[in-house]
Chain A
Amino acid sequence: MPYQSSLNDHQFKVNHQRDRKAIENKRTGPIRLNHQKPEHGKKIALIGWNVSSIEAMEKLNRPFVIVSLPGFEDYAKQHNIPFVGWDFDTKLTYKQVYDRSKELYQTLKEFQCDHAIPAFEETVEWAGALNAYFRNDPKIFDHSILFRDKAMMKRRAHIGGLKVGVFEEVDNKEEVRRFFRRVNDMLLRSRDNNHDPIHVKALNKAGAAGHRMIRSEDDIDKKLSEDNFPCLIESHLDGVEISCEAFIFKGEVKFLNITEYVVFGYSMMVPPIPEIEKYRPLVRKEVEKLVDAFDIKYGIIHPEFFIADDEHLYFGEVAYRIPGGHIFELMQKSYNFNPFEAHILCCDPNTEEEELDKIFPDETSAKGYAGSFLVYPKKKYITDVNIPKELEEHPCFEKHTLFQPAVNKVQDLEGYGNHLGTIFFYGDDSEQVHQQLMNYVDHDFYV
């Protein structure tokens, strides 16, 4: 029946042409937000308790309100910190967060607030929701979720032209197995059991929480349980891992810090060793691409990249908040400026350019190398601190925050968990600092 088929063919062409016409006049791709400025003189709401940021607001003379757990209220009152108590229920869905925020928004409006800045990963969506109400644009909330939902995040990066691994969202072990096979098939690694690992990540947790590496099909059964789902799985990215702290104002990267993850989860250094520092122009280009792809105008982002052997940068993930691991303190030490103040300035669209110019140093001329080593307890019960003499006497040793534990029982940990203390190093010689950051991974600082 040749006639019939040619008619079908024709039909398709007609339809297709119509579809193309229809979208010709429509702008596709990400919707750009209209970043209206908050009103001058209105207050900033910092969502989450962060003393350094509170201090920064006060030093910058920015009127502000802190929104945090009601438990902080007495302390805030005692020290005259403007405060609104709010219970952030971490079990809420994004939609529920949006709905609940309305009440908080109304309270904050009475406090003359016009803008919200998140202090922690878990408050990013709350700040997003509040800003959505402040600007009367729900899409601002959706935009904040880009920084929370790792699958959305990677899609957005991918479409923006960044290199990302292959990934999927999955609901059960079978889907993990299928993905594991497909990835390894594609890499031609299935036949001789020489598998590449894949990574399982929680959809919206900070740092390494919920992270599992799957190296074989056996691992899927051994390392995963129902609690892990739904989650994100992705192919393995190879290379040196770095994080960046990009301070953005009017969509422009004003200052780019590069942090080297010396021993993943344990130690980091600012700036990185020269072998990595030499990639700065490359990193900057990639970060600018990211800023563009995510339509970021104000604030700081904290993306993680892998620098592969072929000198390409692969995108890991990005957060819209102050980074953990004392990175800001390291920056403060090696660049001699206050990143907490810079953060507030960049978040506030009303900041004057001169203010910014004054605060940022030259990102390519750090004074020295600052490193932090996070100390985790290695056992369930701890009674005392054990710091090796040679560590404290090393010329690069700066200080530590290991104290005799007040509570002997260690809390259950997730991911790398909360560290109990930090050791800081600082020196002119990148290699020396670098070496110290690697030396004590196996040492037990608590007995």
Chain B
Amino acid sequence: MALEVDTSKKAAFEQALEALETAFSYAKNMYQTDVYQTAARIMNEKDGMKFLYKYASRFDEAGIFEGRPWAEPSKLQPRLVKGSLMAGGMTSIVEVLSELRMVAIAKGNHTHEKVSKKDANEFLNKVMALNIDILFPEETEAARIEGKRKEKDRAEHLFQLLADELSLASISGTLIKEIDELVAQRPIMVDRIITMIKNAKQLLNVDINTKEQKAIKQYLDAITGPSRISKELTDLSDYRNKLKELDEKVLKEEAKAFAKSMLKTGLVAPQHVTLVRFLNVNKPKLLTEALGLNKKGEANLEEHFSIVSNLIKVAIHPPMRQSLYGLACMLERGVLSSNPVIPGLQRLIELDLLPEVRKVLLNSIKKGNEGITANDIMLAGVISVFGQPLGVGQGMNPTCQTARGISLWSLHDLGYLLELVARAARDGDIDIMFEGQPIHSMNLRDGLVDNLHEELDPVSLILVPHLDRIYGELVRRAEFRGDDVHKWVNPAFYGDWVSRGFSSTIDPLTGAIADYSGFVRLFYATHHPEYNNGHQIIYPNPVGIFVTDSLADLLGLHAVSIQRVDRDPDGKYRVYFYNPNNDSSQNWGQGIQPAVKGHGEEPGESSLPFHEFVSRLYAFHYNPYEQGDAYAVDNETVQEIEKIARNSWGQKYTWVDL
């Protein structure tokens, strides 16, 4: 087959590739750019990608990626592909070449010692699933005006090749699984999920099986209108006018359909909000149905009807529609019965907000604010957090500790959380005591985050800048004490329910791994029901873990909270934990992959078999008075865990026996 590519450009590329192939290893760098540029010129041609793909099996050997982030394909992340493709310059070009190499591996034209055919297929499926908008580009004026035309064209050419070489049918499964897992965690922020669902719509035109078609349709309905009437009337004012004509029976049907979809997916359709606001004024009795409440929720609604009704008026609006789900969950949790909650919420309705807080909150609503105030948004945010304590996420910020705090307080100290929100939003200050000395956030400058990425829930938007600085200050004050700072920082930061007992496997003075087996035994003796005399975890335990990539190589330290330790439906002990990064699909290598559903997880929990979790743990708190028998733990179990640890993150550390 003759490919339509300019012959002089072909020759230039072939020449550049050959020059790179024959170059000495230390000189590859000098010849790489020629390959990139000659390749870039071909990419813009009609059959350019196909032409380049013919050479893809030679790329690794030639050294196209040597000394660059793409050198080790097993370390590449499907999630980062789009960013690189759109980055422009050489980055985009090398990214394209890297994908072509991956196709060559997936098709068996090239073998790589660390990436199997299957791995490559999975990688590419994920890349396609995550970038369906590139696979099926919309020919809108907006897309054209947005700029980056060159990069977009190139990416589209690449994805055309991916679609030709691989099967589209297989990506729908990947995408649906991805959405399923995100949805299972019931995050407060659902932007990413909604984008994925909208993208999945494109797959309905492709030949995929009916089960998958149904799944995609269900998600689409959940965000656009799952009930009979809302399916037809997507315009909110049309829908609202229609409601006035409906009799109670039809209204009830609508209410049930919405509630069913919301409970199933955690996603709220805009018309659902319209319906709830309508019912709140005209048919309050149907609210129970519209929110899909269980008995406990229903009782709470009845008991606190006037405040709930007010909350709906103030905080439940189409732009913040997800808070409707939060409201339902909040009622089922029964938090309104806790004394400080109602006055705390009422205070927020009329709180004087600082101009900068007002601004950041109003900015968080993307489309026209329809007369919504910053207070409304703040309240909606509080409702979400109260309803979905494990749905709090750190977003794109390195603030896992802070997210963990907000989650913990919304579980166990709602009054305190309300106090923090009011202080930060009105006074621009939060203060805490540390060993007898007050620390005010307003007096502090730097925290962990420089520029807060603002795709966050309203409560986080208000609190993270303050909490982050306080956390940083606590770390500064606790440094150089000869032990891990979290021993002192965590109880001060999160509150007194964090146990004072503390154990870290990293020796603070040498940075080496010391007495690892003792560390493992202590964790079993304090956390495993079979060894700790049956003590349950009452408050979440903030622990530190080693995060590893899919090759089990250490990526860094991360903060999660152990929510509970329990038997899963198969009777095996698992650690159920809250991971503030809301990222379900992390693969930690060695077959260790946290699950978010299917093993008895509550929404928002991740879980791992007990010993697998321990193998990634580096520090935890414990109650010294609830310690069981460390010696009783099987030697074999401890050795097995140590083996897993040493073969993963442990390679980056020195191990010493005390």
Report which residue of A385, A399, A402, A404 has the largest number of chain B beta carbons within 10 angstroms of its beta carbon. Answer: A399
| Cβ–Cβ contact A79 & B89, under 8 A | no
Q: Contact between B29 and A51 (Cβ–Cβ < 8 Å)?
A: yes
Which of A52-60, A257-265, A301-309 forms contacts with chain B?
Answer: A52-60
Tally the A-B contacts, defined by beta carbons under 8 Å.
38
Q: Out of A52, A55, A58, A403, which one reaches B89, CB within 8 Å?
A: A403
Closest 3 CB pairs of A and B: A79-B26, A399-B37, A404-B89
| Prevailing SS type, chain A contact patch | mixed
Mark contacts of B1-39 with chain A using CB atoms, 8 A cut-off: 1 yes-contact digit, 0 otherwise. Answer: 000000000000000000000011111011001100100
A399 to B30, CA, bound (A): 13
A402 engages B33 (CB within 8 Å): no
Q: Which residue of B lies closest to A389 (CB)?
A: B150
Say yes or no: B87 contacts A404, CB within 8 Å: yes
Question: Which bracket fits the contact residues of A?
Answer: 10 to 19
Cβ-defined contact, B27 with A399, below 8 A: no
8 Å CB contact of A404 from B23, B25, B88: B88
Chain A 323-360: CB-based contact to B (< 8 A → 1; otherwise 0): 00000000000000000000000000000000000000
A384 at the interface (CB under 8 A from B): yes
With A399-B34, A399-B37 as known contacts, state yes or no: A384 contacts B88, CB within 8 Å.
yes
With A and B bound together, what is the CA distance between A265 and B24 in angstroms? 32
Q: How many Å from the CB of A322 to the closest CB on chain B?
A: 14
Chain B 71-123 residues near chain A, CB threshold 8 A: 87-91
Asked if A401 is at the interface of the complex by the 8 Å CB criterion, the answer is yes
Is A51 in contact with B89, judged by CB distance below 8 angstroms?
no
B30 touches A404 (CB 8 A): no
Q: How far is the CA of A58 from the CA of B25 in the complex (A)?
A: 12
Q: Are A55 and B23 in contact (CB under 8 A)?
A: yes
B20 to chain A, nearest CB (A): 13
* A401-B33 contact, Cβ under 8 Å, with A51-B26, A51-B27, A79-B24: yes
> Other CB < 8 Å A-B pairs besides A384-B88, A385-B88, A404-B91, 13 of them?
A51-B27, A51-B30, A54-B27, A55-B24, A55-B26, A58-B24, A75-B26, A76-B26, A399-B33, A399-B37, A401-B33, A403-B89, A404-B90
A residues 39-60 near B (Cβ < 8 Å) are: 51-52, 54-55, 58
Bound: A374/B24 CA distance, A? 27
Instruction: List, in ascending order, chain A residues with CB within 8 A of B37's CB.
Output: 399-400
Across-interface contacts of A51 in B (CB, < 8 A): 26-27, 29-30
A403 with B90: CB separation less than 8 A: yes
Whether, in the assembled complex, A81 has its beta carbon less than 8 Å from a beta carbon of chain B, the answer is yes
Q: Which residues on B sit within 8 Å (CB–CB) of A384? A: 88-89
Minimum Cβ distance to chain A for residue B434 (Å):
36
Complex contacts, A402 vs chain B, CB 8 Å? 89
CA distance A81 to B33 in the complex (A): 23
With the chains together, A401 CA to B93 CA distance in Å?
A: 13
**Bound CA span A54–B33, Å:** 19
A54 and B91 CA atoms in complex are apart in Å by 28
* 20 contacts across the A-B interface (CB closer than 8 A): A51-B26, A51-B27, A51-B30, A52-B27, A52-B30, A54-B24, A54-B26, A55-B27, A55-B30, A58-B24, A75-B26, A79-B24, A79-B25, A79-B26, A81-B26, A385-B89, A399-B34, A399-B37, A403-B90, A404-B90
Q: Return chain B residues, CB-CB under 8 Å to A385.
A: 88-89
A75 to B28, CA, bound (A): 13
Q: Chain B: which residue is nearest A385 at the CB level? A: B89
Residues from chain B with a CB closer than 8 A to the CB of A54 are 24, 26-27
Chain B residue contacts of A401, Cβ below 8 A: 33
Report A-chain residues with C-beta under 8 Å of the C-beta of B27. 51-52, 54-55
Q: Hey, which bits of chain B sit against chain A, CB under 8 A?
A: 23-27, 29-30, 33-34, 37, 87-91
Task: Give CA–CA (A406, B23) in the complex, Å.
Answer: 25
Docked CA distance A385–B91 (Å) = 12
Whole-angstrom distance between the alpha carbons of A75 and B24 in the complex?
Answer: 13
Docked pose: A400 CA to B27 CA in angstroms: 18
Q: List A residues at the B interface (Cβ < 8 Å).
A: 51-52, 54-55, 58, 75-76, 79, 81, 384-385, 399-404
Give the chain A neighbours of B23 by CB distance below 8 A: 55
Interface residues of B, dominant DSSP: helix
Give CA–CA (A399, B41) in the complex, Å. 10
User: Bound complex: CA of A52 vs CA of B89, how far in Å?
Assistant: 25
B392 to chain A: closest CB distance in Å?
32
Give the residue name and chain of the A residue nearest to B16 (CB).
Answer: A399
Bound-state Cα–Cα, A54 to B28, Å: 12
Question: Closest Cβ of chain B: how far from A191's Cβ, in Å?
Answer: 57
Q: Which residues of A contact B34 (CB under 8 A)?
A: 399
User: Residues of B contacting A58 with CB < 8 Å?
Assistant: 24
Bound-complex Cα distance A401 to B33 (A):
7
Task: State the Cβ distance, B9 to closest chain A Cβ, in Å.
Answer: 12
**CB closest chain-B residue, reference A52:** B30
| B149, chain A: closest CB distance, angstroms | 10
CA distance A81 to B25 in the complex (A): 10
- CA–CA, A404 to B86, complex, Å? 12
Could you tell me the distance between the alpha carbons of A400 and B36 in the complex, rounded to whole angstroms? 10
Cα A75 to Cα B25 with chains together (Å) = 10
Q: B30 — nearest CB in chain A belongs to which residue?
A: A51
Cα distance A400–B37 in the bound complex, in angstroms: 8
Instruction: Give chain B nearest CB distance to A83 CB in angstroms.
Output: 11
> Least Cβ distance of B80 to chain A in Å?
15
Set of chain A residues within 8 Å of B29, measured between Cβ atoms: 51
Bound state CA distance, A162 and B56, in angstroms? 57
Measured between C-beta atoms, what is the minimum distance from B67 to chain A in Å? 10
CB of A375, distance to nearest CB on chain B (Å): 13
Q: Which A residues are CB-close (under 8 A) to B90? A: 403-404
Task: State in angstroms the CA–CA spacing of A55 and B24 once bound together.
Answer: 7
With a cutoff of 8 Å between Cβ atoms, the chain B residues found around residue A76 in the complex are: 26
Provide the residues of chain B in CB contact with A399, threshold 8 Å: 33-34, 37
Complex CA–CA separation, A55 to B20 (angstroms): 13
Instruction: Report the separation of the CA atoms of residues A51 and B26 in the bound assembly, to the nearest whole angstrom.
Output: 7
Q: From residue B602, how far is it (CB to closest CB) to chain A in Å?
A: 43
Residue on B nearest A49 in the bound complex, by CB: B26
Distance from B463 Cβ to chain A, minimum over Cβ atoms (Å): 30
Give the chain B neighbours of A79 by CB distance below 8 A.
Answer: 24-26
Q: Please report the C-alpha to C-alpha distance between residue A404 and residue B94 in the assembled complex, in whole angstroms.
A: 13
CB of B7, distance to nearest CB on chain A (Å): 16
What is the bound-complex CA distance between A385 and B88, given in angstroms?
8
Q: Determine how close the nearest CB of chain B comes to the CB of A297; give it in whole angstroms.
A: 30
CA distance A1 to B29 in the complex (A): 85
Min Cβ gap A328→B in Å is 12
Nearest A residue (CB) for B36: A399
CB-defined contacts of B25 to chain A, threshold 8 Å: 79
| Assembly CA distance A154 to B189 (angstroms) | 72
CA A246 to CA B528, docked complex, whole Å = 80
The distance from the CB of B69 to the nearest CB of chain A, in whole angstroms, is 11
Give chain A residues whose Cβ lies under 8 Å from the Cβ of B26. Answer: 51, 54-55, 75-76, 79, 81
In the complex, A51→B89 CA distance in Å? Answer: 24
Most buried by A among B25, B34, B89: B89
Q: Which of A51, A54, A58 has the most CB of B within 10 A?
A: A51
| Complex alpha-carbon distance, A292 and B37, angstroms | 44
Distance in angstroms from A266 CB to nearest chain B CB is 20
**A75 shortest CB reach to chain B, Å:** 7
CB-defined contacts of B88 to chain A, threshold 8 Å? 384-385, 404
Residues of chain A within 8 A of B87, CB atoms compared: 404
The docked-state distance in angstroms from the alpha carbon of A384 to that of B33 is 18
Residue of B nearest to A400 (CB): B37
Residues of A close to B33: CB separation below 8 A:
399, 401
A400 proximity list for chain B (CB < 8 A)? 37
Minimum CB–CB distance from B438 to chain A (whole Å) comes to 38
CA distance A34 to B24 in the complex (A): 37
Closest chain-B Cβ to A59's Cβ sits at a distance in Å of: 9
- Shortest Cβ gap from A84 to chain B (Å): 16
- B513 CB, nearest partner CB in chain A, Å: 26
Nearest CB in chain B: distance from A403 CB, A: 5
A250 to B29, CA, bound (A): 35
